[in-house]
Structure 1
Amino acid sequence: MKLLVVTVLLGLLAVSVEGFRMPRQVEEEEQGPLTTFTNGIKSYYSDVVNTVHDYVDTIKGLKIEEKIKNLYTETSTIVSTYSGIFQDQLYHVFYAQQ
């Protein structure tokens, strides 16, 4: 019985190993000047895109949008308060005599 189980397991292992093949490594062909230039441009472009992406992620991490919204809310509250006080003062300057 053990021999049958071992034989079945070895058979499954052999089938699995046969299905798992390593891809061949293609030998790199000698690159011409145009290919070298194009690859350099592509590499430079990907580096720039990655750098900008990192900067955007850093800026999002600082939560600048939230800080700007809070600053706007606080500023508008302060300005409306002081403009109300200023309107009251002007009203009393011009209409307090009557």
Structure 2
Amino acid sequence: MNKLLVITVLVALLALSAESFRVPRQAAAEEEEGTLARITDTVKSYYEQSVNTASNYLESIKGMKLEEKAKNLFEETTKAVSTYTGILQDQLYHIFYPQN
């Protein structure tokens, strides 16, 4: 959703900065960019920087091997719970069916 919004804003800015259909005059080489072009370039650079930062964060999270740690934690918890469940079943069995 956020990417779609950013792309829409960029397309709108690019559309506004588009030249008209008239043939432009020969401009001097030292002429500065328009204000809208500078704003567009700034927004593009901020967008690229934020995408790069997010990508770097994702890569660093993958480097921590969190998925493997979560899987190991789940397996250890499952083993512990199954052990205590077995003990509870055994106790209930002996409560309902006592041996003389």
| TM-score in same-fold range (> 0.5) | yes
Amino acid across the alignment from 2:98: A
RMSD: 1.7
Q: Which runs of 5+ in 2 are unaligned?
A: 1-28
Q: Which one has the bigger helix percentage?
A: 1
Unaligned runs of 5+ in 1: 1-26
Number of residue pairs matched by the alignment: 72
- Choose 1 or 2 for highest CA Rg: 1
How has the CA–CA distance of structure 1 residues 29 and 62 changed in structure 2, closer, same or farther, with 3 Å as cutoff?
farther
| CA-to-aligned-CA distance 1:32-88 (integer Å, 9 cap, x gap) | 111111111110011101111111111011000000000001111111111011111
| TM-score between both structures, scaled by the size of structure 1 | 0.67
Q: Tell me the equivalent position of 2:72.
A: 70
TM normalised by structure 2 equals 0.66
Moved over 6 A (4+): none
The secondary structure found in structure 1 opposite 2:32 is coil
Q: Which structure exhibits the higher relative contact order, with contacts defined as CA atoms closer than 8 Å and separated by 6 or more residues?
A: 2
Q: Which amino acid letter does the alignment assign opposite residue 88 of structure 2?
A: F
Identity of aligned residues (%): 57
